[in-house]
A and B are shown apart, each in its own frame.
Chain A
Amino acid sequence: GESVGLHLPTLSVQEGDNSIINCAYSNSASDYFIWYKQESGKGPQFIIDIRSNMDKRQGQRVTVLLNKTVKHLSLQIAATQPGDSAVYFCAENRANQAGTALIFGKGTTLSVSS
Chain B
Amino acid sequence: EPEVTQTPSHQVTQMGQEVILRCVPISNHLYFYWYRQILGQKVEFLVSFYNNEISEKSEIFDDQFSVERPDGSNFTLKIRSTKLEDSAMYFCAGMTGVGTGELFFGEGSRLTVL
Contact = CB atoms under 8 A, between A and B. Distances in A.
Interface of A: 32, 34, 36, 38, 41-46, 49, 89, 91, 93, 95, 98-107
Contact of A93 (B49, B55, B101, B108): B101
Interface in B91-109: 91, 93, 95, 97, 100-108
A41 B108 CA distance: 8
Given A99-B97, A102-B33, A104-B43, A45 B56 contact: no
Interface string B66-107: 000000000000000000000000010101010011111111
Contacts of B107: 41-43
Contact of A49 (B33, B43, B45, B101): B101
How many of chain B's residues touch chain A, expressed as a range? 20 to 34
Most-contacted residue by chain A among B35, B93, B95, B101 (CB, 10 A): B101
B31 A98 contact: yes
26 contacts: A32-B101, A36-B43, A43-B4, A43-B107, A44-B103, A45-B105, A46-B102, A49-B100, A95-B101, A98-B30, A98-B50, A98-B95, A98-B97, A99-B49, A99-B55, A99-B97, A100-B48, A100-B55, A100-B56, A101-B33, A102-B45, A102-B103, A104-B42, A104-B43, A106-B41, A106-B42
Contacts of B95: 98
A100 B58 CA distance: 11
